[in-house]
With several copies, the nearest count.
Chain A
């Protein structure tokens, strides 16, 4: 009963967002996959939301400690990263090179603080490492370095390359007859890069259904709003025209995130793009939607205020 209700609520939710996701969900409900697999318990959602809060706190603490870094885009990605590392991905922090692991690539590499927080909280390395972010000799570089940091799958930071790297991994999986999946998170500003569209074209040409692109659509890039700098709309139509099954969700709604990730697994013959509508700086009132926190750490005073806001309220 409760499940059904939450399901209905989800549907309403999707409809309210008007993102055309409801129909898809209905189709699933009509039998393609069992409910249990697609819809997630309140307990799970609560647990993940709590973890996401922790990651947000980590992000702000580590960047302030480092005196630099990119908190804004880390916070917009926090819920998705949480859903991936603490529920969806098949991985083993004790065995980062496990051959059958799912791969996650943070193509928008500047948001690595939230990736580092997730990896540390998962157990890839001690949490204390987070406080050495960006310091000389640290395993945590300003942008992801696959040689230095356990769990980092690709060296990124020059935007536009992650989806292509993911294609290579997805081709390798197919060649080796392995069923691992590849997830690539991109920024919306990053979508300005033509290489992303080269990759989008190739992934559908190669019929890679083991790769999922997640767009952190927070509406801001470095110099301002994407709408002003380089407008992307109609974004979903772009991905569809490039041959991708495309889902739009609220990227801070844990249930929608989990559902979309599950949905992507079921799509046959083509790759899936999840366009996650997010808020840059999400969770801290004075950071939300503010371009100045793209690449600037909080002051100690700001950090104190932010951490006050980032408290679990159930």
Chain B
């Protein structure tokens, strides 16, 4: 069993660390700073923290003004508000003029749990990646979150980072290592966590640890599954994906997001234009879902490692 940690805690800590060295970082929140952990930055740097109250649209456009004055604004709230509630503001004030704003949203997906569908966000990847100039990152755990937040500062332009509410199993070793090896978080990159010849599991966020579990379960049945942590949805790692498709001839995508327009869709876009192979998409099957505990929901809505195992077997059967 892996240890667990909050990705939003990692965000809160990293923000402070970055805030110490990069004086141009400012942080904006919309009355959710206790939940998003930006309140920690606010306590450390009160002058550089702005709480806009429950007014996401205003916050988003204000970030544009701060960015065009040389600041690096981090804008945080829950994913459903960070994206859909201020979408037109993000589009026109920020993405269109390619301003240096980082949006870090917590409480994505259905693992939000008891608050229910009004507070889930199963569409943010789809809607953010639909806009030009937009980088979309989905870290898999707390360690990768730190790496993603840091990488976002070194990249000029709008970046959307998708985090979760609950603690997630920690996959990477401290300092962003995998099995001892130091990794580099690269916008447009990915991590191949496991090699395998029969099928490739392409996962993001909370589903990465589940994909690893699925790969182990498959291995016990003699099926060798490669596992890719696709932390960068846009830009997307075309090279690694096409190579994986070529080698394994079958892909399963795993995302805590609607299967319409999300990670599966982004991967499919690449493969049909390069190496069209059979795919199965594990994700939320176009439903708003309901309130419940995280585990109840992930099980009922088909996001367990068992669901991945079954999808892998289905897709392998479809290989030509």
Which A residues lie within 8 Å of B33 (CB)? 223
In the complex, the answer to whether B117 meets A154 with C-beta atoms within 8 Å is no
User: Does A142 touch B at the CB level, under 8 Å?
Assistant: yes
Residue of A135, A137, A222, A230 near B55 (CB, 8 A) is A230
* A211, closest chain B residue (CB): B65
User: Does A147 touch B at the CB level, under 8 Å?
Assistant: yes
User: Does B68 touch A at the CB level, under 8 Å?
Assistant: yes
Query: Beta-carbon contacts of A188-207 to B below 8 Å, as 1s and 0s?
Result: 01101111001101100110
Give the segment of A18-26, A43-51, A63-71, A242-250 that binds chain B.
Answer: A63-71
User: Does B98 touch A at the CB level, under 8 Å?
Assistant: yes
User: Does B40 touch A at the CB level, under 8 Å?
Assistant: no
Question: If the complex has contacts A134-B291, A223-B39, are A165 and B65 also in contact, measured as CB distance less than 8 A?
Answer: yes
User: Does A266 touch B at the CB level, under 8 Å?
Assistant: no
In the complex, the answer to whether A199 meets B54 with C-beta atoms within 8 Å is no
User: Does A164 touch B at the CB level, under 8 Å?
Assistant: yes
User: Does B114 touch A at the CB level, under 8 Å?
Assistant: yes
User: Does B43 touch A at the CB level, under 8 Å?
Assistant: no
For the complex formed, measure the closest distance between the CB of B99 and the CB atoms of chain A, giving whole angstroms.
Answer: 9
Cα distance, A193 to B59, chains bound together (Å): 11
For the complex formed, measure the closest distance between the CB of B97 and the CB atoms of chain A, giving whole angstroms.
Answer: 4
In the complex, the answer to whether B32 meets A223 with C-beta atoms within 8 Å is yes
Residue of A141, A154, A202 near B52 (CB, 8 A) is A202
In B110-138, the 8 Å CB interface with A consists of: 113-119
In the complex, the answer to whether B57 meets A155 with C-beta atoms within 8 Å is no
In the complex, the answer to whether A168 meets B63 with C-beta atoms within 8 Å is yes
Query: Beta-carbon contacts of B56-70 to A below 8 Å, as 1s and 0s?
Result: 011111111111111
* B86, closest chain A residue (CB): A195
Residue of A160, A194, A202 near B62 (CB, 8 A) is A202
User: Does A171 touch B at the CB level, under 8 Å?
Assistant: yes
We find that the number of chain B residues with CB closer than 8 angstroms to chain A is 57
Most buried by B among A99, A136, A158, A176: A158
In the complex, the answer to whether B70 meets A141 with C-beta atoms within 8 Å is no
Residue of B32, B91, B296 near A136 (CB, 8 A) is B296
Which B residues lie within 8 Å of A137 (CB)? 290, 292
In the complex, the answer to whether B64 meets A202 with C-beta atoms within 8 Å is no
Query: Beta-carbon contacts of A156-195 to B below 8 Å, as 1s and 0s?
Result: 1111111011111111110110000000000001101111
In A105-132, the 8 Å CB interface with B consists of: 109
User: Does B297 touch A at the CB level, under 8 Å?
Assistant: yes
In the complex, the answer to whether B116 meets A158 with C-beta atoms within 8 Å is no
Most buried by B among A155, A162, A169: A155
Which B residues lie within 8 Å of A134 (CB)? 114, 116, 291-292
Which B residues lie within 8 Å of A67 (CB)? 114
In the complex, the answer to whether A136 meets B93 with C-beta atoms within 8 Å is no
User: Does A74 touch B at the CB level, under 8 Å?
Assistant: no
* B59, closest chain A residue (CB): A164
Cα distance, A138 to B32, chains bound together (Å): 27
Which A residues lie within 8 Å of B118 (CB)? 109, 141-143, 155-158
User: Does A256 touch B at the CB level, under 8 Å?
Assistant: no
Most buried by A among B32, B52, B85, B119: B52
In the complex, the answer to whether B115 meets A143 with C-beta atoms within 8 Å is yes
For the complex formed, measure the closest distance between the CB of B67 and the CB atoms of chain A, giving whole angstroms.
Answer: 7
Which B residues lie within 8 Å of A199 (CB)? 58, 61-62
In the complex, the answer to whether A169 meets B69 with C-beta atoms within 8 Å is yes
For the complex formed, measure the closest distance between the CB of A251 and the CB atoms of chain B, giving whole angstroms.
Answer: 20
In the complex, the answer to whether B97 meets A146 with C-beta atoms within 8 Å is yes
User: Does B320 touch A at the CB level, under 8 Å?
Assistant: no
In A83-107, the 8 Å CB interface with B consists of: 99
List 11 other contacts, CB 8 Å, given A136-B300, A143-B116, A199-B62.
Answer: A67-B114, A69-B114, A134-B114, A161-B57, A161-B93, A168-B65, A168-B73, A175-B47, A195-B57, A223-B31, A223-B51
Task: Provide 10 A-B residue pairs closer than 8 Å at the C-beta atoms, listed in order of the A residue.
Answer: A136-B293, A145-B116, A155-B92, A157-B92, A158-B89, A168-B73, A171-B50, A192-B53, A221-B53, A223-B31
3 closest pairs, A vs B, by CB? A168-B65, A230-B53, A136-B292
Interface residues of B (CB under 8 A from A): 26, 29, 31-35, 39, 47-48, 50-55, 57-71, 73, 80-81, 85, 88-89, 91-93, 96-98, 113-119, 290-293, 296-297, 300
